[in-house]
A and B are shown apart, each in its own frame.
Chain A
Amino acid sequence: MHVVLVGTSHHRAPVELRERLAFGSRLGGELVSRLAGGDGEAVALSTCNRACLYLAHADRDAARGRAVAAFVELAGLTAKELEPALYVKEDAEAAQHLFRVAAGLDSLIPGEAQILGQVRAAWEAAAEEGATSVVLNRLFRQALHVGKRVRTETGIGETPASVSSAAAELAARVFGDLGGKRVLVLGAGKMGELTVLNLVLRGAERPVVANRSLEGAERLAERFGGRAVGLDALDRELERADVVVASTGAEGLVLTADRVAHALRRRRGRSMFFIDIAVPRDLDPAINDLDGCYLYDIDDLERVVKESVAGRREEAVRAEEIVAEETEKFRAWQLALDVVPAIALLRAFAEDVRAGELDRARGWLAALSESERKAVESLTSQIVNKLLHPPTVRMKQAAAAADGVVYAETVRRLFGLGEDER
């Protein structure tokens, strides 16, 4: 069985084309049923950055043809027009590609975590349609293992890759657990909302939103089950807040260092973390000089994200080593598949011989006690297993070295295996 991958991604196709090639769960289900046919296997993976069809089939050319035809149909283009946007990979190369995808190495931001769930969902959907079997089940199970291994053994997914998640991570570096930490939001902008979302997801309390227009504040507060206040309540709320997120559209400073210093005195030295994502800035830069106060503006956060993504790229080198190691394992397993039928036939043949001989000796076996009969059964089984162990191991080794088919055929001929089928 060969594994064939036909697909496209953000590396090759613009978003307009990816939109046309994308398939949802219903269409994906139909697609894999059709592509698997009665004699193959198929999994369809579609995300915002890629559309891939993984097929397992004895005839690789036929599998490739089916997959390309499916994409041509989806795109409404000719094969020639679509060809530059598609990549085709086979066997170990296809496995390597899937492992890289699952590890987040093929994503826009290395180590992106969402893709692993998407790979799992695609495999499960295909399995539900009955479109997967031995080969693709093994391939996708191993891909999920690779994804987890890369995230456990490297730091590729540890650092944040967006401004809002970096802000939440920095707050966690100050407070540790954000559970119970109070968030004060100044302004009701979209960026502020994303940052609050990240803080709340990490356990921070429902936010208090302070805005010039109470209506805007209420809208954002409602989204997180928080509370809206006017800017006149700012000093009171500042005393209680642990994290302050500022994203107003104000022309000048909304919060000065003096006001924060005043609040700090009432907080008995408890730390505060300030996130200023507004341009022009809302928060006085001098706040960062106050003891126990940490202020990050949009430029600071972008620098942190840039460094964080650079770190992910460094970790990607280690992740590639894991992918290469796992690809080799899959290659060895796939090659061993060539000898599996011969091994199964050989074992069945030996078992037939053993059972036949025991049957012929039924007469004198009847004179034995139950435990003695069981001992004879066990003894003959052990002899058969010991005899078959070396050829089984050698055939698998030969398969890994690409001689498997020759060995399998030799065994078939020597023992006359499967001659009835022929």
Chain B
Amino acid sequence: MGEAALLLFWPALVGYAEAALAYAGETVRPGRPARFAVWGVRLGWLAQTALLAAQAVRADGFPWASWAGSLNLFVWLTVGVYLIWGCRASFRLLGLVIMPLAVALFVVAWAAGGAGDARRSDFGDVFLVFHVGLVLAAFAGFTVAAALAALYLWQERRLKRHAPGVLRLRAPALASLDRLTGRTIAVALPALVLGIGVGFGRLEADGGGFDATMAVTLLAGALYAAYLVLRYEVGWHGRRGAYLALAGFLVVLIVRIGLTPVSHF
């Protein structure tokens, strides 16, 4: 692993880990920890951005073609999507779900060599940028949607059980969480469809077989499409929608962690 990459990996990891701990602290003593957490996310994300830039410069091409490399990029995209909402006071608790996951995946990416010097891929850069970029962006969106759904279920449970401290912790309203989950999936799903389309286009041109990763990715797409239909057409608001979003995310996790999404191409 290059020294520059190492120099940037650790600040990013420390930032994310500090944020994860601070968000946990926020549930115990609300107020100040959340402010520290947001700064941890921001600084960590900036350090990871620099890490990705350094990798891009050294690799002389698309550097995240490996499974571990794509995981690194996926973490960056997920935290980036979170940052869109995470800075709002009422949505900070979303980090309670996102940041521990980001830390775990970032460590896995590093252990598997995805956060160090990247090699150039054998495949065309344009194809990889579109295919990997779109699929990973969609997965990042689904991850944030899952975090929103998880936060919904947690907050709903507290409201249902009349938790005495339910008002002490600043959390988004259930309606906002539900609405944002739907919107995030509505944006992420077209990106996934496009990414899959590009993948099939190359498959058609260069030949190759249909494998488990493709099948499970299609299953994820089908689940999220079902979510959108049920939510907007049938009225599956709230708890049922949240469970479905989490089920979709489980499939995404199988694709991301259990199977190799890029190297098989």
Contact = CB atoms under 8 A, between A and B. Distances in A.
A176 B235 contact: no
A333 interface: no
B248 interface: no
By secondary structure, the A interface counts as helix
Nearest to A270: B237
B171 interface: yes
A160 B30 CA distance: 15
B166 to A, nearest CB: 6
B162 A174 contact: no
B155 interface: yes
Interface size of A as a range:
20 to 34
Interface in B1-51: 29-31
Interface string A238-282: 000000000000000000000000000000111100000000000
B195 interface: no
Nearest to A169: B167
Interface in A141-159: 154-155, 158-159
A172 interface: yes
B199 interface: no
Nearest to A268: B235
Contacts of A176: 172-176
A159 B165 CA distance: 10
A409 interface: no
A159 B176 contact: no
Contacts of A270: 235, 237
B170 A292 contact: no
B173 A175 contact: yes
A357 interface: no
B238 interface: yes
A174 B240 CA distance: 16
Question: For this complex, into which size category does the number of interface residues on chain B fall?
Answer: 20 to 34
Given A166-B167, A271-B175, A292 B155 contact: no
A98 to B, nearest CB: 25
Contacts of A296: 162
B151 to A, nearest CB: 12
Nearest to A178: B173
Contact of A173 (B30, B164, B171, B240): B171
B168 interface: yes
Main SS of chain B's interface residues?
A: loop
A173 B167 contact: yes
B237 A170 contact: no
Interface in B27-78: 29-31
A173 to B, nearest CB: 6
A155 to B, nearest CB: 5
A292 B31 CA distance: 29
A170 B176 contact: no
A160 B167 contact: yes
B167 A292 contact: no
B239 A304 contact: no
B236 interface: yes
Contact of B159 (A173, A269, A306, A311): A173
Contacts of A294: 159-160
Nearest to B172: A176
A163 to B, nearest CB: 12
Contact of B174 (A271, A291, A300): A271
B167 A159 contact: yes
B175 A154 contact: no
Contacts of A268: 235, 237
Contact of B238 (A155, A170, A269, A318): A269
B39 to A, nearest CB: 16
A303 B171 CA distance: 19
User: Which 6 residue pairs across A and B have the least CB separation, nearest first?
Assistant: A176-B173, A268-B235, A307-B164, A300-B162, A269-B235, A311-B168
Given A173-B159, A269-B238, 16 more contacts: A155-B31, A159-B167, A159-B168, A173-B155, A173-B167, A174-B159, A176-B175, A177-B173, A269-B240, A271-B174, A292-B238, A304-B164, A308-B167, A311-B165, A311-B168, A318-B31
Interface of B: 29-31, 155, 159-160, 162, 164-168, 170-176, 235-240
14 contacts: A159-B168, A173-B173, A176-B172, A176-B175, A176-B176, A268-B235, A268-B237, A269-B235, A269-B236, A269-B237, A271-B238, A291-B238, A307-B167, A311-B168
